[in-house]
Amino acid sequence: MAESFDVLTPLVTPFDADGDLDIAGLESLVRHVSAAGVDGIVPCGTTGEFETLSPGEYRTVVRTAADTAPDDCHVMVGTAATDVATVDERMAFAAEQGADSTLVVPSYYGGQASAAGNEAFFDAALADAPLPVYLYNIPGAVGQKLSVETVAALAQSDAVAGLKDSSGDLSYVTAVMNQTPDEFTVYQGHDGLFVPSLVVGGDGGVSALSHLLFDDLERAETAIESGDVPQARAVQRDVLSPLSEACAEFGFAPTVKALLADRGVIDHATVRPPRDSLSPEAVASVTERLE
């Protein structure tokens, strides 16, 4: 089990009422989560609606987040793309902006790739990687699972620092830990499994709920570090899991934005298609769960 755990925030991307990029809102959001104490931020990830951003908007989000984050805040930039050239271009830009690492998913168009195909895709992207790379397993969005065997093979590369897993499959996480070096970092990306992942040896989480619930996540971490698993389990059961279930039901970006707007952290809960904003009834439901 890790001696200490990290929590990184997969930043939502604030938009104004018309759906345009809200740069001041993004700066305010980075300051908000940094002041709460998160260990790092992840701009342009899944919760950040990266696939809806134009190339210019993508660069603006990365630059703004990196410039606003304090020096002790790890900046892991989402660099997902379906082609290696764009992944390389985004990794190079992240490095130019002073990011600390990047997050790369398997190519997400064209059907289920073979293990050899996925490994070849990552090998090509890693060849000239200017920053440490975290692999990203998110089969619900990508349409395929990054196999344990592929992760284990890629973990031998000096360029690969770890994995973010958002599969919701704890047995997968355990298998990855068993087949990768001790220094290989495994982050949980599913808030519903935050505590179980720490208990079985995970290194922390890239947690959408850390936008609002960092204190509770830290409380769970502290309980595990002190051996008080029942206390950590109570945090998971009573706080994290109910809101994680809401995120799964309504979508992570729409739900987190609705909660942030309700708390006055961002001005608008606007999301871009194909995501849909929460209905007033759904907003009332998730804010009640937050309370």
CA distance 154 to 123: 8
pTM of this prediction? 0.96
Residue 96 neighbours by CB distance under 10 Å: 13
Contact 154, 161 (CB under 8 A): no
Q: Which residues pair with 21 in a beta bridge?
A: 15
Task: Name the binding residues.
Answer: 47, 206
Task: Name the binding residues for pyruvate.
Answer: 47, 206
Q: What is the CATH number of domain 6-214?
A: 3.20.20.70
At 235, the amino acid letter reads V
End-to-end Cα separation, the chain, in angstroms = 32
Could you give the residue numbers annotated as active site? 136, 164
Structure tokens at 36: 């709460």
Mean pLDDT, the chain cut into blocks of 10 residues (291 residues total): 83 98 98 98 98 98 98 98 97 98 92 85 95 96 92 97 97 98 97 97 98 97 96 97 94 97 97 96 92 82
